[in-house]
Chain A
Amino acid sequence: MSEAFSMRKYLRDLSLPFCAGCGALTVMGEFLRAVHELNYENLSKFVFCSGIGCSSWIPSPYFKADSVHTLHGRSIPVATGIKLLRPEANVVVFGGDGDIVGIGLSHFIHAARRNLDVLVIMLNNMIYGMTGGQVAPTTPFKAKTATTPYGSFEYPLDAAKLAVTAGASYVARWTTAHSKELKNAIKEALTMQGFRFIEVTSQCPTAYGRRMGFKDAGEMVRWFQKSAVPIDKARKLGEEELQEKIVVGKFVCKRRPTLVETVYKMMEEAQKEVEKS
């Protein structure tokens, strides 16, 4: 590391849009800190993609970089087109739980299956925050939201587990109460290939905390801290014991052929075949 960390170095001169206490600021900061610690002087080796939702604003247009702000749920397909044509770029997707595993869920599963070479950082605030606090596929059972005034009658999705099952190369989950671990996970993921997924349990004091009776963002972060169970410990616990807990840590880290590798190999073979004919 050549100099002290400064977020400004990587940002455009614009004021940020996040509410006071929003977890997006922590994630933005830890991502840029990871980039800094990996000795990237700027973001020219990165292409960012995001969808619609508060956390999709992390890169766009604030990062001094190429950023593609796509439609709701469609950042991963767009990232697929970009990465296949620009295999040398570090393609990073930012999105929320509604964006990535709500409306965009099938793209998420298929990208993991293909082992598409992108890093997806998903902020899970358990709510549709931008639209005013409606129930999400990640909302805890019985949580009160704008569209579940009597408490949610559905069970939440475990996105990290799903990514492992679908074939991701790297999966980790941390919370905004684990900034150092989060930064280290981002660093590790940025130096790997294939489909990498980091889920960050993040606070939305405005649309979730308020309805659920949290005093402020700090109280929500302390809730994450208290509910976090390391994955090794969680493996020994039963389903019931894990209810209302947040399993944190590294879920998987493995090497398997990536989409870029298999596509370009196929192309080579096709060209050899046509040369012969």
Chain B
Amino acid sequence: MKGYPKEGVYFWQGNEACAEAAIVSGCRFFAGYPITPASEIAEHLSKKLPQVGGIAIQMEDEIASIGAVVGASWAGAKSMTATSGPGFDLMQETIGWAFMTETPCVIVDVQRLGPSTGQATKCGQGDVMQARWGTHGDYAAIALSPNSVQEMFDMTIKAFNLAEKYRTPVILLADEIVAHMRERIIVPSKKNIKTAGRKKPKPNDTAFFGCEEVPPMPSVGDGFNVAVTGSTHDEFGVRFTADPNVHKRLVERLNNKIMYHAEEIAETETYNLDDCEIGIVSFGCTSRAIYETVEMAEKKGLKVGYVQLKTLWPFPEKIVRQLAESAEKVIVPEMNLRQVFYEVQRAAGGSADIIPLNKIGGGELITPEELFAEIKESVKK
């Protein structure tokens, strides 16, 4: 198909890889608002989507962008938006609405350095907890964290697949470094890329919001008379704004449909998980320092293991606990002032010393030297 990336090796920017992957995933609607460092996704999709019969539109703000994305998803299209911290703030209410109405969609947050306008063009990893707890009320989030251009491609596809499978918004929590760097990437042939679609209803189905863990989803305009609402609703979409049982039944199912599958959703890359003195838990651009650090440590005769968190939410606690049970000390490098650190501490349950390594400002990466210095320091203690 014209406009569809051919199988092969490319030298792409992270944001470009994300946009191409969206097209491969079958995304046919994008709405966004310009923001550094995510704008290239909108620019690329504005060029490519119309070529494959899709639509990209620049809305008046991020609230309108994600609103249009949810609308397009109910009209039957796989849909996406891309933004950064300030825009991600504005989208939170609608992310909650998408969760409550079980609307599959992908939200790319290319993290930059906050709070507020902060250092707008520099990298940060400060939105980890926002991706989990940004909207109000009881909900479960799915957030993925790529560490390379290849992973920007692969995880965009995964984000669409999870969104469709679980009928829920999925966050691709990228960062400025991964989004803006260029590197080698392999685009597999179309037949080697697995893409998932949503479960469609049978002609006489009426329960689009319950009865099953993930109910079938009709499109508006298909004659199903679907009533969509962010208010508490029963299986048929009828509002029940006071009944405790209807609320409990709905909100528990919405959470459980994700949390019961946490292990299935959790993706990690591990090394020396069961045989290490020092462990590292890392994610996104920060995890790129791990490989060289491990080499440095091994040359000095230190046994180092690591977990790269490709899924941040639901948190891959089982794997992290496994690492903590083997290692005496676990270092958590991140470009924020401790966010994943507390999750690791919680997952470790006291089975290892958890050591934070934090760096903020100027978008500077934690280098292998800095990480290795922390390892040497922790061995001394």
Contact B223 A44 (CB under 8 A): yes
Q: Which of B63-71, B115-123, B151-159, B180-188 contacts A (4 or more CB under 8 A)?
A: B63-71
Residue A4 at the chain B interface, CB threshold 8 Å: no
A 264-277 binary contact with B (CB < 8 Å = 1; else 0): 00110111011100
Residues of the B chain whose Cβ atoms lie less than 8 Å from the Cβ of A66: 220-221, 224-228
Residue B281 at the chain A interface, CB threshold 8 Å: no
A98 to B219, CA, bound (A): 29
Contact B75 A86 (CB under 8 A): yes
The residue on B at minimum CB distance from A114 is B57
Q: Which of A47, A60, A267, A269 contacts B220 (CB 8 A)?
A: A47
Residues of the B chain whose Cβ atoms lie less than 8 Å from the Cβ of A60: 227, 229, 239
Q: Shortest beta-carbon distance, A116 to chain B, in Å? A: 10
Q: Which of B69, B221, B239 contacts A89 (CB 8 A)?
A: B221
A14 to B172, CA, bound (A): 41
Contact A77 B67 (CB under 8 A): yes
Q: Knowing A78-B67, A84-B55, A275-B2, say if A69 contacts B72 (CB, 8 Å).
A: no
Contact B53 A271 (CB under 8 A): yes
A69 to B231, CA, bound (A): 8
Residues of the A chain whose Cβ atoms lie less than 8 Å from the Cβ of B73: 81
Q: Which of A70, A84, A274 contacts B97 (CB 8 A)?
A: A70
Contact A86 B60 (CB under 8 A): no
- Which B80-99 residues have a C-beta within 8 angstroms of A? 93-94, 97
B 6-49 binary contact with A (CB < 8 Å = 1; else 0): 00000000000000000000001101000000000000000100
Q: Knowing A80-B57, A110-B64, say if A61 contacts B71 (CB, 8 Å).
A: no
Q: Which of A77, A110, A270 contacts B71 (CB 8 A)?
A: A77
Contact B238 A14 (CB under 8 A): yes
A110 to B59, CA, bound (A): 8
- Which B198-239 residues have a C-beta within 8 angstroms of A? 219-221, 223-231, 237-239
A49 to B229, CA, bound (A): 10
Q: Knowing A81-B75, A82-B75, say if A69 contacts B69 (CB, 8 Å).
A: no
Residues of the B chain whose Cβ atoms lie less than 8 Å from the Cβ of A88: 221
State the interface size on chain B (CB cutoff 8 A): 47
Contact B227 A67 (CB under 8 A): yes
Residue B361 at the chain A interface, CB threshold 8 Å: no
Contact B63 A77 (CB under 8 A): yes
The residue on A at minimum CB distance from B79 is A81
Q: Which of A61, A267, A271 contacts B237 (CB 8 A)?
A: A61
Residue B162 at the chain A interface, CB threshold 8 Å: no
Contact B225 A85 (CB under 8 A): no
Residue A74 at the chain B interface, CB threshold 8 Å: yes
Contact A274 B2 (CB under 8 A): yes
Q: Which of A65, A76, A81, A106 contacts B31 (CB 8 A)?
A: A81
Q: Shortest beta-carbon distance, B212 to chain A, in Å? A: 20
Residues of the A chain whose Cβ atoms lie less than 8 Å from the Cβ of B70: 70, 78, 81
Residue A71 at the chain B interface, CB threshold 8 Å: yes
A267 to B64, CA, bound (A): 22
Residues of the A chain whose Cβ atoms lie less than 8 Å from the Cβ of B74: 68, 78, 81-82
A97 to B172, CA, bound (A): 36
Contact B228 A67 (CB under 8 A): yes
Q: Knowing A106-B60, A267-B50, say if A69 contacts B227 (CB, 8 Å).
A: yes
Contact A81 B220 (CB under 8 A): no
Contact A80 B94 (CB under 8 A): no
A68 to B79, CA, bound (A): 17
B 146-172 binary contact with A (CB < 8 Å = 1; else 0): 000000000000000000000000000
Q: 5 smallest A-B Cβ distances: which pairs?
A: A81-B71, A77-B67, A85-B75, A270-B50, A61-B227
25 contacts between A and B (CB under 8 A): A12-B238, A60-B227, A61-B229, A65-B225, A67-B227, A68-B229, A69-B229, A70-B230, A74-B63, A80-B59, A80-B71, A81-B29, A81-B79, A84-B55, A85-B55, A86-B219, A88-B221, A89-B220, A107-B67, A110-B59, A110-B60, A266-B50, A267-B55, A271-B53, A275-B2
- Give A residues with C-beta under 8 Å from B: 12, 14, 44, 47, 49, 60-61, 64-71, 74, 76-82, 84-86, 88-89, 106-107, 110, 263, 266-267, 269-271, 273-275
- Give B residues with C-beta under 8 Å from A: 2-3, 28-29, 31, 47, 50-51, 53, 55, 57, 59-61, 63-65, 67-77, 79, 93-94, 97, 219-221, 223-231, 237-239
